[in-house]
Amino acid sequence: MTAISSESIHIGTEDAPVPMWRQRTKIFMANKLAIASCVYVIVLTLACFLVPHLHPTNQTNQAVAFGTPQNTAPSSHHWLGTDSSGYDVLGRIFFGGEYSLILGFLAGFITVVVGTLYGMISGFLGGVVDTAMMRLIDAFLSIPYLFLLITLITIFGRSTTFLIAIIGFTGWWGNARIIRGDALLIRNLDYAKASTSMGANKWHVIRRHVFPNSISNIVTVATFSVADAILFLSALGFLGLGIQTPETDWGTMLQSGTSQIQNGYWWEVFPVAVVFILIVVSINYIGDALRDAFEVRLLER
């Protein structure tokens, strides 16, 4: 009996069914751009955290920096020249990148955590609570984001911690909306309803059913959030509200570089611009590829 049934299973399919996560990895790996993006993000992150220690260049001591020639073109000594304060540009890209990346990842992480919690609770509870919670989101979404950031930064100051907190705790509204839609959908699916009817409490259903089933959207949202946080930080840097000197971030670097562009000092703008645009594009590509990988319709059935 057992022998027959096991044999009959093997008639249709040659191999055992491929586990879902492996299929997803396969879809992700098939996307060459996403792989390249992953490599870029990892290499750049490692470089930003290691290069300033392995090959230290002066990036903080203004007195020493003013001793070195300013705005010099790339040479064997300064591979990407020096900026208007005499800092080595290549070293500064990594040095500023450290702040941009830490801020982007932490702030993005906060927006995802807060947005997920809020969206899950709102979508799962439904009814009046959901309506009220979503109208609150509507209210926040109709305040222009940059206006709000500027106001908050003038109020709370702009230490690194506050910048992370401000971007993190104001960027989650869109995320909450997406996750809420998911929670609402899953709540009404049969398995979640069955669980509720068998007496599971709400928290259990959220934890065991809603959260695991919306994880794909959460991960995708997370990648876009990190990219957005990095972008917003750069806008703040341009408005002069970014990280304060002598520390720097890519936005602040771009701002000071672009003020020199009319003098033809291209090395102060384009290298950091390319690094910056590539990281935001890469993170977005990774997000896209993740979304494809999680898309059930693309899985082999």
Partner 1 sequence: MQSAFVLAIIIVVTFTLPYFQPHGIYAPAYTALGSHINALNVHTWAQQHGLTQSYFVRLLKYADQLIFHFNLGHSFKQSLSVNSIIALYVPRTVWLALSALIFTTVIAIPLGIFQASRRNTVIDYAATGTAFVLYAMPAFLLCILVIDAFGFHWPHLPISPPSGVAPWAIFTDPKAFILPVGCLTLLSVAGLSRFMRGTVLEVLVQDYVRTARAKGCSSRRVLWRHAFRNALGPIVTILGLSIPGLFGGALIIEDVFNYSGLGVQTINAAVTLDVPTVLGITVLVAVFTLLGNLMADVALGLIDPRIRIEGAR
HSE, CB side, 13 Å, CA atoms: give it for residue 231: 16
Q: In angstroms, rounded to a whole number, what is the distance separating the alpha carbons of residues 180 and 117?
A: 9
* From candidates 46, 141, 189, 194, binder to partner 1 by CB under 8 A: 141
Q: Does 125 bind partner 1 (CB under 8 A)?
A: no
CB of 223 to partner 1, least distance (A): 13
* From candidates 138, 161, 201, 215, binder to partner 1 by CB under 8 A: 138
SS3 18: coil
Number of residues that bind partner 1 (CB under 8 A): 41
* From candidates 27, 44, 152, 179, binder to partner 1 by CB under 8 A: 152
Check if the beta carbon of residue 254 is closer than 8 Å to that of residue 243.
Answer: no
DSSP 299: S
Q: Does 30 bind partner 1 (CB under 8 A)?
A: no
Nearer to partner 1, 179 or 272 (CB): 272
Q: Does 148 bind partner 1 (CB under 8 A)?
A: yes
Any residues with CB less than 8 A from the CB of 108 and at least 6 apart, and which?
168, 171, 222, 225, 226, 227, 228, 229, 230
Q: Does 108 bind partner 1 (CB under 8 A)?
A: no
Q: In angstroms, rounded to a whole number, what is the distance separating the alpha carbons of residues 99 and 253?
A: 12
For residues 84-120, one letter each, b for 16 or more C-beta atoms within 10 angstroms of the residue's C-beta and e for the rest, the string is ebbbbbbbbbbbbbbbbbbbbbbbbbbbbebbbebbb
Check if the beta carbon of residue 99 is closer than 8 Å to that of residue 243.
Answer: yes
Site for partner 1 in 250-279 (CB under 8 A): 251, 254-255, 258, 261-262, 269, 273, 276-278
Site for partner 1 in 226-255 (CB under 8 A): 227, 231, 234-235, 238-239, 251, 254-255
Token look-up 């020249």 returns: 81
Q: Does 150 bind partner 1 (CB under 8 A)?
A: yes
Nearer to partner 1, 39 or 138 (CB): 138
Tokens encoding 274: 């390319």
- Among candidate residues 220, 202, 193, the one with its CA nearest the CA of residue 286: 220
Give the range of 1-9, 38-46, 128-136, 211-219 binding partner 1 by CB under 8 A.
Answer: 128-136
Q: Does 281 bind partner 1 (CB under 8 A)?
A: yes
CB of 231 to partner 1, least distance (A): 6
Nearer to partner 1, 189 or 277 (CB): 277
CB of 144 to partner 1, least distance (A): 4
SS3 227: helix
CB of 237 to partner 1, least distance (A): 8
Any residues with CB less than 8 A from the CB of 236 and at least 6 apart, and which?
149, 153, 158, 163, 242, 251
Any residues with CB less than 8 A from the CB of 171 and at least 6 apart, and which?
107, 108, 110, 111, 145, 225, 228, 229, 232
Q: Does 203 bind partner 1 (CB under 8 A)?
A: no
Nearer to partner 1, 200 or 231 (CB): 231
Question: What is the contact surface with partner 1 in residues (CB under 8 A)?
Answer: 131, 135-136, 138-148, 150-152, 154-156, 227, 231, 234-235, 238-239, 251, 254-255, 258, 261-262, 269, 273, 276-278, 280-281, 284-285
